[in-house]
Structure 1
């Protein structure tokens, strides 16, 4: 049985529906969406991080009142000390994070760290992070 086809609004190529995102009423194929996202990230990574934060906050009904001025990208991750880069290892990419996950994306509660640090930090509270670090050091036998 042949798969239904759809024409991408960007490249104009007729492609199978499997080349378009499911559960989205989009007219762009995944390849064109991916290229558009790459171009946006390269053009202004801070604007990209702000857009992602606003989208994420809206999806879960949280506030996002930060502006581009609130997003300061350092040269190195303040938590791991690794250089922040847009290319190469994804763990070195800048990532907008909330200092306190119980508080929304508001001025003073956001900072830029590496994606690796953000993944490690996850959704843990400060208390949970302290307990994690204490227990990890005890477990591996370091003071």
Structure 2
């Protein structure tokens, strides 16, 4: 056999394996997205837990909460607006898991569900945290 032919054959095999691997990765990404959207529609607390896990990895903080620890109230404790899920991008009234003490992470007793608007607003978070420290039953 010619060494050039062997080199080309080896390159072709490597390229084919790489293409197959990339196709498998893309299929996995597509299936993961579909699974997430189905979960969001049927089990919003589970989807919120998946988002919290992703955020915990991103911010390198601990996480030990379960689906049972995520309690979605009827109204936002900070703005007193009704919480409702939206499709696609989170709206102002979408429920969001918030860490009371950010450095502690997503641990039991350190998370609360508020509206996405309250989660993004630093002043609302600060006032909510002060109210919770003064009287933890504010959220109940």
Per residue, is there more strand in 1 or in 2?
1
Q: Deviations over 1:60-104 (max 9, x none)?
A: 321101111211100000000000011377111100000122221
In the TM superposition, 1:123-138 aligns within 5 A as: 126=126
* Structure 1 position 37, deviation (Å): 3.0
Query: Is the Cα contact below 8 Å between 2:101 and 2:110 reproduced in 1?
Result: yes
Structure 2 residue ranges without an equivalent (≥5): 1-19, 131-140
Q: How big is each residue's C-alpha offset from its partner over 1:21-72, in whole Å with a ceiling of 9 and x where there is no partner? A: xxxx432576x76544322101101001111111211233211011112111
CA RMSD of aligned residues (A): 3.1
The corresponding residue for 1:72 is: 71
Name the counterpart of 1:119: 120
Structure 1 match to 2:111: 110
Length, aligned pairs only: 108
**Native 8 Å contact 1:101 1:125 kept in 2:** no
Alignment of 1:11-90 (within 5 A): 25-27=25-27, 35-87=34-86, 90=91
Structure 2: distance between partners of 1:45 and 1:8: 30
> Could you say which structure has the greater relative contact order, defined with CA pairs below 8 angstroms and 6 or more residues apart?
2
Larger radius of gyration: 2
SS in 1 for 2:62: coil
TM-score (norm 1): 0.61
Identify unmatched segments of 5+ residues in structure 1: 1-5, 10-24, 131-143
- Of Structure 1 and Structure 2, the greater helix share is in 2
